[in-house]
Amino acid sequence: MTTSFMDVDVRPTLRAGGEPFGEIMAAIAKLQPGQGLRLLATFEPVPLFHVLGSKGFSHKAKEIGGGDWEVLFSPAAAATPADATPAKPASDTSAWPSPVQEMDNRDLDPPEPMVRILAATEAMANGEVLSALLCREPMFLLPELAKRGHAWRGAFEPDGKTYKILIRVGAAKEAA
């Protein structure tokens, strides 16, 4: 069965500094049964993967050049709501810049991932984003990020084993 996709290009909205979350959700609401969504964005919209994952969509993301991303959200045939409590998306849904640093901490002994992440954020400038892969939700890291005024967005990847967290340095301080 081939899935038909509705196109939603949020790049103009993002470039204009706008917030595309509502636009995407409105499009999702308009989809026919079995129809998917083809999203074009200026960054890899990781938080959205989990939000739409919990609505039964699987996704395929690829970079299409110029830093832009194309993501195909397909309705899963036997979509079941995720068993785990879905992580809440960050209340601030605006676009974040691409990460200036990416790290894969999946094979490190705890609490080494936390140590590396905090060391990296200390060396970054306000507003910059760090992306890190982990093998579980970093429960003890989050209060420390909050204390230091950083904002974060995190969710499990569709494989259910890799947890991806994006941390924006100093962003919580600015919002406050």
Query: Contact between 121 and other proteins (CB under 8 A)?
Result: yes
Rule CB under 8 A: say whether 154 interacts with other proteins. Answer: yes
Q: Does 118 bind other proteins (CB under 8 A)?
A: yes
Q: Which is nearer to other proteins, 18 or 56 (CB)?
A: 56
Q: Total binding residues for other proteins by CB under 8 A?
A: 32
Residues 115 and 33: their CA atoms lie apart, in Å, by 46
Q: Segment near other proteins (CB under 8 A), from 3-11, 14-22, 30-38, 108-116?
A: 108-116
* Rounded CA separation 157/46 (Å): 8
Instruction: Give me the least distance between CB of 4 and other proteins, in Å please.
Output: 33
The residue from 22, 97, 110, 127 that contacts other proteins (CB under 8 A) is 110
User: Per rule CB under 8 A, is residue 144 in the interface with other proteins?
Assistant: yes
The DSSP annotation for the chain comes to -PPPEEEEE-HHHHHTT---HHHHHHHHHHPPTT-EEEEEESS--HHHHHHHHTTTEEEEEEEEETTEEEEEEEE-TT----SSPPPPPPS--S--PPPSEEEE-TTSPTTHHHHHHHHHHHTSPTT-EEEEEESS--TTHHHHHHHTT-EEEEEE-TTSS-EEEEEETTHHHHH-
140 lies in the site for other proteins, by CB under 8 A: yes
Q: Does 120 bind other proteins (CB under 8 A)?
A: yes
CB of 140 to other proteins, least distance (A): 6
Segment interacting with other proteins (CB under 8 A) among 2-10, 54-62, 91-99, 119-127: 119-127
Query: Please, what is the angle between helix 46-53 and helix 21-30, to 10°?
Result: 30
Segment near other proteins (CB under 8 A); pick from 8-16, 29-37, 54-62, 111-119: 111-119
Residues that bind other proteins (CB under 8 A): 83-85, 87-88, 107, 109-111, 114-115, 118-123, 135-147, 154, 161
